[in-house]
């Protein structure tokens, strides 16, 4: 009985380990897309991600596109990829204190990161974005989070904006401008055309994790975690657009620093 019980426990451990293992990160190849209505919709969704202000102009108020935060059109690990996202929605989100659909989540970004307006849920743009994200989740089990989703979690650090200023000048200003104004395809990091105070990137921990893993572009993981926190604090110390619905987000009697962004 003892040997049988030990064997059963070992099998159970293997099963539980397999159940908890995250699927490997591996977006499908665009070459696999059919040349039909489905394939055209997926490709249009990718265009929307890459040039959001062009293809969804009436709904965008900033100079950002989705791909500025979701790098490589949502196909890069630890850069808020879309790979696997479809398999995790609908889900309960503390920010909204409800179960959100993927459409809700997309419009959250349009109102915050893009400082714009929500897409109509029956619009061509919304249909294309959802289809693109669904295609990137092809073959992934429902409810499973893929390895590389979101951002790597950094150990909390005490931020020093003053220390972040020279780091920004050396590592960031070439692309984003000395005054954070952005240039070319590189987005503004503060000011009237940047993401608003309700965006995920306006949270210090999120911005630091994104910067440490991905910036300078093409040279991620070159800044230390402390340097990433410092430069994130420097960027976020500058003014940016307000978020019209912030009162809805803050806890009753709370203040902006309590906001669950």
The distance from CA 144 to its chain's CA centroid, rounded to whole angstroms, is: 17
From 190, 198, 203, 195, select the one nearest 235 (Cα to Cα): 190
Question: pLDDT, tens digit, for every residue of 168-217?
Answer: 999 999 999 999 999 999 999 999 999 999 999 999 999 999 999 999 99
pLDDT value for 248 = 53
pLDDT value for 258 = 39
pLDDT value for 247 = 56
pLDDT value for 259 = 38
From 145, 159, 141, 69, select the one nearest 110 (Cα to Cα): 69
Instruction: Return the HEC string of the chain.
Output: CHHHHHHHHHHHHHHHHHHHCCCCCCCCCHHHCCCCHHHHHHHHHHHHHHCHHHHCHHHCCCCCCHHHCCHHHHCCCCCCCCCCHHHHCCEEECCCCEEECHHHHHHHHHHCCCCCCCCCCCCHHHHHHHHHHHHHCCCCCCCCCCCCCCCCCCCCCCCCHHHHHHHHHHHCHHHHCCCCCCECCECCCCCCCCCCCCCHHHCHHHHHHHHHHHCCCCCCCCCCHHHHHHHHHHHHCCCCCCCCCHHHHCCCCCCHHHCCC
Question: In the chain, which stretches have pLDDT less than 70?
Answer: 1-20, 246-261
Distances (CA, A) of 114 to 70, 71, 135, 165, 257: 13, 15, 23, 25, 21
User: CB 219: neighbour CB atoms within 10 A?
Assistant: 10
From 169, 127, 160, select the one nearest 227 (Cα to Cα): 160
Indicate the angle between helix axes 225-236 and 161-171, nearest 10 degrees: 100
Q: First vs last Cα of the chain: how many Å apart? A: 54
How many Cα neighbours within 13 Å face the side chain of 8? Answer: 5
- Size of the chain in residues: 261
Largest Cα–Cα distance of the chain, in whole Å? Answer: 72
pLDDT value for 257 = 40
pLDDT value for 9 = 40
């Amino acid at each position: 009985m003892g040997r049988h019980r030990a064997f059963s426990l070992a099998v159970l451990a293997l099963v539980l380990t397999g159940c908890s293992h995250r699927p490997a990160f591996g977006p499908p190849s665009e070459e696999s897309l059919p040349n039909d209505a489905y394939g055209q919709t997926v490709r249009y969704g990718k265009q929307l991600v890459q040039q959001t202000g062009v293809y969804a102009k009436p709904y965008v108020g900033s100079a950002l596109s989705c791909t500025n935060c979701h790098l490589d059109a949502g196909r890069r690990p630890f850069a808020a990829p879309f790979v696997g996202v479809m398999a995790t929605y609908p889900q309960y989100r503390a920010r909204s204190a409800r179960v959100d659909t993927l459409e809700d989540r997309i419009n959250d970004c349009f109102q915050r990161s893009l400082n714009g307006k929500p897409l109509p849920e029956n619009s061509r743009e919304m249909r294309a974005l959802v289809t693109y994200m669904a295609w990137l989740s092809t073959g992934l089990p429902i409810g499973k989070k893929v390895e590389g989703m979101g951002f790597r979690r950094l150990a909390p650090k005490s931020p020093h904006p003053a220390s972040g200023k020279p780091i920004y000048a050396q590592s960031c200003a070439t692309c984003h401008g000395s005054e954070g104004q952005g240039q070319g395809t590189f987005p503004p990091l503060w000011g009237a055309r940047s993401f608003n105070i309700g965006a995920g990137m306006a949270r210090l921990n999120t911005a630091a994790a994104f910067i440490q893993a991905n910036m300078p572009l093409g040279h991620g993981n070159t800044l230390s975690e402390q340097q990433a926190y410092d430069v994130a604090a420097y960027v976020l110390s500058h003014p940016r657009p307000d978020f019209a619905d912030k009162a809805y987000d803050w806890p009753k009697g709370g203040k902006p620093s309590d906001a669950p962004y």
